[in-house]
Amino acid sequence: PLTGTKEMFARAYKEGYAVGAFNVNNMEIIQGIMEAAQEEKAPLILQVSAGARRYAGQTYIKKLIEAALEETDHPLALHLDHGQDFEICKQCIDGGFSSVMFDGSHLDFEENIAITKQVVEYAHERGVVVEAELGRLAGVEDDVHSEESIYTDPDQAVEFVERTGCDSLAIAIGTSHGAYKFTGEARLDFERLEKITNMLPEFPIVLHGSSSVPQEFVEMANKYGGDIGSAKGVPEELLRKAATYGVCKINIDTDIRLAMTAVIRKHFAENPSHFDPRQYLKPARQAVKEMVQHKIKNVLGCSNKI
Ligand code: G3H
Ligand code: 13P
Ligand code: ZN
Ligand code: NA
């Protein structure tokens, strides 16, 4: 069944783990994630970005997730990732999403508060929860590009949550979107996270840009004709540690892309005569499943939590 995230996050907070929020763009990705979550009996958030809606089409992506809901009794939340304005959030709320993000991180503080509040009002009247964002992540998304990150100010975070009534808050403490997160040593500002957690007790914190960029996939892709250079993500131990604080939702997209691409490149290199998409999409789907299962078990700590 389709669920919200309120109870999911309350338990994650109490028990010191995080729920994985995985970006979905096509059938194979959805199937791989679903298999992993089911085997692990793990709470799950499937999230859809504006890019995903453009790629697959709003109707297709929605129907694919409905298929997942119909085939299993596994509970999952359907979340809009990085909603840019009130209108997109409204569309998704009206279209049956159980959770939406309004991303006003590029706006000034007051403007971010004003629109977040508007989304919260509309969403709450309809039983939908709202994630907001304060602070800015560096990195690339289809729709937002930021050179520099601005870490979340703890005092502002408290004021923001009080004034908007949002249900969860994405913060900036050193993660970033994409495959090139750190040039030197990877580090997150745990002092800041701890401060925010202490000042907002029991309030769910969200970490975007939390792919680990597994080196096995980078090496595999590069070995079989790829050129993705020295990509680097958030080390798993740091994510594990973040999950024991107030972090209840950890966003992962890049690792899905890398897993599929690495395995497909290898498949093509080893099977130059193959041309049936099922021949390479099947191992790609399997790679997504194994990667997600590993995260759930060893990084997020949310196995057997449903
Ligand atoms: O936050 C960014 C996500 O990875 C979604 O990326 O907008 O290219 O689908 P996208
Ligand atoms: P990654 O690019 O680290 O996978 O982050 C995904 C994300 O934050 C989606 O909102
Ligand atoms: Zn994000
Ligand atoms: Na947690």
CA dihedral 35, 249, 27, 216 (to 10 degrees): -70
Sign of CA dihedral 192, 253, 73, 120: positive
Q: Is residue 247 part of a domain?
A: yes
Q: Dump pLDDT digits (tens) for 53-77.
A: 999 999 999 999 999 999 999 999 9
**pLDDT band at residue 215 using 50, 70 and 90 as cut-offs:** very high
- Is the pLDDT score of 157 beyond 80? yes
Q: How many CA atoms lie within 13 A of 207 on its CB side?
A: 32
For residue 132, the cross-strand partners are 102, 169
Secondary structure class of 31 (helix, strand, coil): helix
Q: Is residue 288 part of a domain?
A: yes
Query: What percent of the chain has pLDDT above 70?
Result: 97
Q: Is 208 in the pocket of ligand 2 (CB under 6 A)?
A: yes
Q: Is 212 in the pocket of ligand 2 (CB under 6 A)?
A: no
Retrieve residue 254's tokens: 């890049």
C-alpha 211 – ligand 2 centre gap (Å): 6
C-alpha 69 – ligand 2 centre gap (Å): 24
CA distance 22 to 37: 11
- Is the pLDDT score of 280 beyond 60? yes
Q: How many structural domains are present in the chain?
A: 1
- Encoded amino acid at 150, one letter: I
- Encoded amino acid at 42, one letter: A
C-alpha 210 – ligand 2 centre gap (Å): 6
Helices assigned H by DSSP within 44-172: 50-56, 58-71, 86-94, 109-124, 154-164
DSSP state for residue 136 in the 8-state scheme: B
Secondary structure class of 128 (helix, strand, coil): coil
Average pLDDT in the 177-193 region?
Answer: 95
The boundaries of the domain holding residue 239 are 6-300
Q: Is residue 151 part of a domain?
A: yes
Ligand 3 ion local residues (Cβ < 5 A): 208
Q: Is residue 12 part of a domain?
A: yes
CA distance 169 to 105: 11
Q: Whose CA is nearest to atom 2 of ligand 1?
A: 141
DSSP state for residue 276 in the 8-state scheme: -
Contact (Cβ atoms closer than 8 angstroms) between residue 5 and residue 77: yes
Q: Is residue 305 part of a domain?
A: no
Q: Is residue 306 part of a domain?
A: no
Retrieve residue 57's tokens: 């089409």
Retrieve residue 63's tokens: 């129907």
Ligand 1: residues within 6 Å at CB?
23, 49-52, 81-82, 141-143, 177, 253
Enzyme catalytic residues: 81
Q: Dump pLDDT digits (tens) for 19-56.
A: 999 999 999 999 999 999 999 999 999 999 999 999 99
The CATH number of the domain holding residue 68 is 3.20.20.70
Q: Is residue 185 part of a domain?
A: yes
Q: Which atom of ligand 1 is nearest to the CA of 52?
A: 9
Residue 290 confidence (pLDDT): 98
Instruction: State yes or no: ipTM above 0.95.
Output: yes
Contact (Cβ atoms closer than 8 angstroms) between residue 256 and residue 213: no
Averaged confidence pLDDT in the chain:
96
Query: What percent of the chain has pLDDT above 90?
Result: 94
Q: Is residue 109 part of a domain?
A: yes
